[in-house]
Amino acid sequence: MKFQLEHADANTKARTGRISTAHGEILTPIFMPVGTVGSVKGLTVDDLHREVGAQIILGNTYHLYLRPGTEILEQAGGLHCFNGWDGPILTDSGGFQVFSLTGIRKLTEEGCTFQSHIDGSRHIFTPERVMDIERSIGGDIIMALDECPPGNSDYSYAKKSLGLTHRWLDRCITRFRETEPLYGYEQSLFPIVQGCTYKDLRIESAEFVASKEADGNAIGGLAVGEPTEVMYEMIEVVNAILPTDKPRYLMGVGTPVNLLEAIERGVDMFDCVMPTRNGRNAMLFTREGIMNMRNKKWENDFSPIDPNGTASVDTFYTKAYLHHLFKAQELLALRIASVHNLAFYLWLVGEARKQIAADNFAQWKRQMVPQLGQRL
């Protein structure tokens, strides 16, 4: 993987770049649709390419390990061959999902023992095992195993957790270096900065991660309940340390406003289930604001869903029709809303890229933020 920094905004920390992988190029800043079990819920590969304009998607190590399993994935030739997506793929480490299994997991220095949410069977994720699983899945970018502590962790626990994450990172790097890709192309390992909302721990972690000289770096453990201003502060603290010539990936964030605030602070890559999950619950994001398509106000509104949208569904279907589909609990509603929201997110980061290139990002962001968060 190669990263080329193309332009730095004259007035902010925002920047544009180009990531080159074995499965294609990614123009940053970029949003990555989440394909948890090998699919972005309800959407086809053609939807992602033609309607959404996705450049890279995610797969989840925890879920793909449990089902269909690494044996099936290896027989298929990796996730790209299994699901038909020919662009870049990023796989997370599964750590966030494992540590969310409160009551059915046990954390030790060796790794994390957990019970499957599917059938209760017992498994263990060690740094070495996770690297092997991510080799089997075959993502272009793979994440190191880390502990994502609760957002309200006290300092003592946060510091102890950070030490474990750093020791696990060293083991991930060792395993990564002593193994080979399975499908004939290189993979890149990204470490993850942790430290909760404690500035000194974030600095310590960012310095440790930067010292590994990885192809790219991630910021984890944010958007887990802390105030947004604290999240933005932690991003600033970390990005002041992470190298400028490597992509920076903010994990699991977030709202359209979150994306613009983070781009302003130097983040290049994002993922979040919000556009698809909220879409399936009738919430649509637009450049004018947020629409709840179950609201009665849309019942007889026969204007396009979003005349400014970039997907064909935005102008082909009306607000009244989408309102009807949600009220009738028709599956088509979920697809239309998911396509719209993902296309909007990809439009947003693409427009941010244009504004950065024109050194106009700050002014454009000031205009957009009040609109993006308002309820229509």
Catalytic positions are 92, 271
- Identify whether the C-beta of residue 135 lies closer than 8 Å to the C-beta of residue 179: yes
Contacts 24+ apart (CB under 8 A), 271-275: 271/31, 271/32, 271/33, 271/34, 271/58, 271/90, 272/31, 272/34, 273/34, 273/36, 275/33, 275/338, 275/341, 275/342, 275/344, 275/345
Backbone dihedral region for residue 56 (phi beyond 0: left; psi -120 to 50: alpha; all else: beta): beta
- Considering only CA atoms, which of 91, 37, 47, 46 is closest in space to residue 68? 37
Tokens standing for residue 23 = 């499965």
Identify the CA nearest to 368 among candidates 354, 348, 344, 350: 348
Q: For residue 155, how far is the Cα from the chain centroid?
A: 27
207 Cβ contact list (under 8 Å, min separation 6): 241
Residues 6+ apart with CB under 8 A from 246: 3, 214, 215, 216, 217
CA distance 254 to 349: 12
